[in-house]
A and B are shown apart, each in its own frame.
Chain A
Amino acid sequence: EAGVTQFPSHSVIEKGQTVTLRCDPISGHDNLYWYRRVMGKEIKFLLHFVKESKQDESGMPNNRFLAERTGGTYSTLKVQPAELEDSGVYFCASSQDRDREVTGELFFGEGSRLTVL
């Protein structure tokens, strides 16, 4: 069974440009999460989808970030326009937690490293 896959693995862009990161969760996982790690600091939550709906987007830093999950399958995270402080590793994770059941086991992708010059 395929795990969580992310594309691209590494992207280098200039300030002001646009980048779109893609995440394919494990098949059948309704929950999809985006996290970001900046400069070796803590991994910070960005948002959580349940199927195609945004359940929690309290971690999105500003309106330059747009996440979508059309059809409840893969998700994209677009940064437009990119700023220097957006550099970091963007992790996607998925889980199959249902309703009130919380196992806490998120399955993570390898991350997409974004470098903004």
Chain B
Amino acid sequence: EVQLVESGGGLVQPGGSLRLSCAASGFTFSNYWMNWVRQAPGKGLEWVANIKQDGSKKYYVDSVKGRFTISRDNAKNSLYLQMNSLRAEDTAVYYCAKGGDGYNPWGQGTLVTVSS
């Protein structure tokens, strides 16, 4: 069974940092683009970033460029999102999702709250 499990969320002050992780299992992780998507409370989905199979290409939504860094460790079947200079508007549930023909499946999400 393909499974994605996010971790690392929590409460952080504005300007702080947080590193999210996504543990993948049930598929050959190194064969797929991987993605981060977020959802602010009561709002819609927002694509955040994605990374190519070998990590050679990374893309970000404009609002996180220069603050967030996506990375992966294919040996550990893991995806990461390093979030720096966090703002209140970054408060959201962050999902990782396996790429391919659509984002399928998604993890259960991890909540990041940016507040003083």
Partners in one complex: no
> Which B residues lie at the A interface, using CB under 8 A?
none
Using CB atoms and an 8 Å cutoff, list the residues of chain A in contact with chain B.
Answer: none
